[in-house]
Amino acid sequence: MTTSPSHDGTPSPVLDAVVVGGGIAGLVAAQTLVTEGLSPVVLEASEVCGGYLARADVGPNGTPVVVDSGAESYASRSQTIAALVAELGLEAVEPSGLSAWGYVPEGTGRAPGRRPRGRAFPLPKAGVLGIPGHVWASDTRRAIGVVGALRASLDRVLPASRVDASTLASLVESRLGRRVLDRLVTPVAGGVHSTDPALLSVDAVAPGLLTAYERTGSLAAAVRSLRAHAPAGSAVRGLVGGMNQLVAALETAVEAGGSIRRGTGARQLRRTGDVWEVQLTTGETLRTARIVLAVGGHTAVALLGDLVDTAGAALVRGTDIRLVTLVLRAPALGDAPRGTGVLVAPGSDVVAKGSTHASAKWPWLRQRLDATLGPDAHVVRLSYGRGGAGPAGADLDAAAPDETFVAQAVLDVQALYGVPVTPGDVLSSTVTRWDDALSPPTPEHRARTSRLVSDVAALRADGAPGLSVTGAWVAGTGLAAVVPHAQAAARSLDLS
């Protein structure tokens, strides 16, 4: 840390670095700066760090049962995360190995205004965002039927030029047909990205897929190629104790060399001479040589407004997500009737966009429940909120009270898992609310964020160094995208 004169002439500290935002991107950026020998200050507007890597204690009657109430896994292909997990001394684990299931509307509603019941089926394992690599595999054929498999088979003989790659939906439908899109890709991609595949940029949500398609001339072959180069074992991993353990470990690492100010956000960012000034929500002003913006997209655009032209950088408001976590006394769930959980296509009798049978997916959680609540206790998570279908799905308002979401979750568990569950079986519950979650990674979104990042780079090159931008809104969805981007954002600063 150095000092420079303040406005009244008295010396005021110029901090090594300020990281605005204490979500996972901000914590990773700050931890990277600490490893480089700097002493960053992290500003987190809320009282809790970690962003979408949240935790909840859902144990009934004081029984300690801590689970993830946000992201619960990361892509195992990411060597960057594997290295970070090892560096922090955390224990990575694979899920149980059970299949995930899909749930799609079957037929038409039995009465006017009623949506049809759905059909559950195991999702094909060898796919990318639901796109199958083997269209005649038994699990794929079970999902899309013989008619769907026949249509998907045309992918092998259609000219490579017969493709519309403007969105994920158009790519899949043009090569593999409507059934693959509706029954496989829509529930999987919609569950991951909370929006319609017709709005998703292929490069943003499936990096490398178009390159593989151009090389093979077949979408199914492209999927097989990507899968062949993926690491052995499960496509995802978690941590013993949940992904929330990553947040705790990063906080410890950051505070070993820097500091975290919770309940303190940034109001304005400006350049004064060769120093950055950050006006805080508390009224204070911090002076720093380096700054990493690791806040959400809308906040970042607002903070950059005095520095670059943000007129064309308006981002679409993200979906309001509601995550309901239930602890159930339900012996019928003991044989994991839907494997690790269910991804739901829109239009059926189920309102949730997806559900995870967490205690069937993660052996460490099953062991802890056995030790505390017994073998008949289960943790089931249900997610509500689809982009383009209202703020919290077709039948629920995002502003509805927790009780409404819990009641709907019980109904959805019955339909999705095919087991009798009543409100009396709920030992405890919690509802986690994410307002304005990530804007969908549409082609327009990517163009706007790319332009904004280019403007920031130009600002740095034009005599205002020491500023970088990171976060899922610019890096992409998922820890495999966010972690390396945050590390690179920190290292892009002059660290000397």
Sort strands 341-344 and 101-105 into parallel, antiparallel or unpaired.
Answer: parallel
CATH code for the structural domain at 2-51+240-316+440-491: 3.50.50.60
Element (H, E) at 170: helix 168-176
**For the chain, what are the domain ranges?**
2-51+240-316+440-491, 129-233, 319-434
pLDDT at position 234 is 73
Tokens of 470: 């990171």
Of 333, 267, 342, nearest in space to 299 by CA: 267
Gyration radius of the chain over CA positions: 24
Q: At what angle do helices 24-35 and 479-491 cross, to 10 degrees?
A: 40
pLDDT tens by residue, 393-404: 456 888 999 999
Q: Does the structural domain 129-233 have CATH classification 3.30.70.2860?
A: no
Q: Give the residue ranges of the chain where pLDDT is below 70.
A: 1-11, 107-114, 231-233, 387-395
Of 179, 175, 172, 178, nearest in space to 145 by CA: 179
pLDDT tens by residue, 388-444: 543 344 568 889 999 999 999 999 999 999 999 999 999 999 999 999 887 778 888
319-434 falls under which CATH superfamily? Protoporphyrinogen oxidase, mitochondrial; domain 2 (3.90.660.20)
pLDDT at position 392 is 42
pLDDT at position 447 is 86
CA torsion 41→42→46→51, rounded to 10°?
-170
Confidence (pTM): 0.90
129-233 and 2-51+240-316+440-491 share a CATH fold: no
pLDDT at position 4 is 44
